Amino acid sequence: MIVEDERFSATVLQRTVERLGYEVVGNVQNGHDAIEIFKKELPDVIIMDFNIQGDLDGGDLSLALAEIKRTSNIFITSAEDEESLQKIMDAKPDAYIQKPFEQRELRAVLELAFYKNKKENELNELLSSLDKKVKERTKELNETVRELVKEMAQREKVQRQLEESLNKEKKFGKLKSSIISNLSHEFKTPLSTIRSSAQFLTTLIERERFDKMNVKHSKRIEDAVDHLAELLTRILMVEENVNEVYNVVIEQVNVTEVLKATVSELKLGVCQGRTIDIDIQLDDELIETDPRLFRLIISNIVSNACKYSQDEVLISVHREMDSLIMSFKDKGIGMSESDIEQIFYRFYRGENVGSIEGTGIGMSIMKRCLDALGGKVKINSELGKGSEFVVRLPVNQE
């Protein structure tokens, strides 16, 4: 397509382009007509005079067209002063030619522009194919992980029955740990490969100035892999043979900072769109505890509250003597007495969770972190009315 407001120059330019073997789908004099023709014909290359008539110059027009479709822009200009040439360069054209130009010069620029378009289209097709393959593989991994979690839940149920009549939990736990460790090893290699490829695609896309949709798809690949990797890590955390995970390293921790930072992170994921009110009544915000375990306690309780409640979550914090008291209230589905008694079992899920997704390991992780820090938790809950978790944690660790 040609955009040139001097009719004689436009006619000569069109004839030259056609002699070179290219089809001209439109020859217009202003930016608005160019946009209409562009929407209809979607040309691969646009040759335009930078200083065209109307309220859109070449730079404005190239930006408007880029929002419709990525194409190659070639500017032609008779300007020779440094200021005008700088404006052209600021518009980042694929090429520009100064008037008057020779046919061989135009031929070279057009061949380069069409070649670049061809390669960009091939790369887009490759990216699309890779995206499809990664999605398929990610879907397979998701299904495998769900089956793994489902199987673990069934095994845990059998384990609890055996605990009452037979003392075989130790043997069963070792077997389960071996299965999870082997499966985790098998998962981590392909997950690492997929994530590395996604990062490479993101870098390549950003460097070549592709559209935002490609960047978005590449980022979604990375996020999906990170989610699967986090799920595998959480599964490993509940195994009894990885007690080093719960080793306590005492530091001074600012309660307000950790609480607000953890909630902010959760709002980007499972708590997205939820209202979380925080009321902190502390004269001294510093306590001595393990910051990693402290964060896990908050994260698992709040994420559970968001998952099983559509309403707001209320968090209140105060101090009683040498203890930090944290209350987490929600207005969700609540729990029965039977559920409360079993909530800290690994892989246990309440009878009323329905189709809500979950692994049944969050509360087990939270309880083990709390035990490691010498803390306690009390649960107040009623079916259909919500739950409250009250955590009591020593402010000084000896």
pLDDT tens readout for residues 304-339? 888 888 788 999 999 998 999 999 999 888 888 888
Token reading at 22? 């290219």
Type and span of the H or E element at 379? strand 376-382
Pair 117, 203: CB distance under 8 Å: no
Residues whose CB is less than 8 angstroms from the CB of residue 362 and which lie 6 or more positions away in sequence, other chains included = 234, 300, 303, 304
CA distance linking residue 342 with residue 215, whole number of Å: 44
CA distance linking residue 64 with residue 38, whole number of Å: 10
CA distance linking residue 378 with residue 362, whole number of Å: 16
Region 193-201: mean pLDDT is: 69
Which domains, and CATH codes, for the chain?
2-101 (3.40.50.2300), 119-241 (no CATH), 246-394 (3.30.565.10)
Q: What is the pTM of this model?
A: 0.46
Please give the pLDDT value at position 24.
83
Token reading at 269? 């994921």
Average pLDDT across the chain, whole number:
78
Among 97-106, 150-159, 351-360, the range of highest mean pLDDT: 150-159
Type and span of the H or E element at 106? helix 103-165
Residue type, 189: T
Is the pLDDT score of 242 beyond 50?
A: no
Region 349-370: mean pLDDT is: 75
DSSP strands (E only) in the chain = 2-3, 27-28, 45-49, 72-77, 95-98, 251-254, 276-281, 286-289, 313-320, 323-330, 376-382, 386-394
pLDDT over 90, % of the chain: 16
Q: Residue 244: pLDDT band by 50, 70, 90 thresholds?
A: low
CA distance linking residue 243 with residue 237, whole number of Å: 8
Q: How many CB atoms lie within 10 A of CB 17?
A: 20
Pair 157, 169: CB distance under 8 Å: no
Residue 75, Ramachandran bin (φ over 0: left; ψ between -120 and 50: alpha; else beta): beta
Q: Tell me how many helices (H) and strands (E) the chain has.
A: 11, 12
Please give the pLDDT value at position 176.
58
Q: Which of 115-124, 264-273, 325-334, 346-355 is predicted least confidently? A: 346-355
CA distance linking residue 33 with residue 54, whole number of Å: 10
Token reading at 133? 């393959």
Backbone angles phi, psi at 323, to 5 degrees: -125, 145
Q: Residue 225: pLDDT band by 50, 70, 90 thresholds?
A: low
Pair 17, 106: CB distance under 8 Å: yes
pLDDT tens readout for residues 371-391? 989 999 999 998 888 899 999
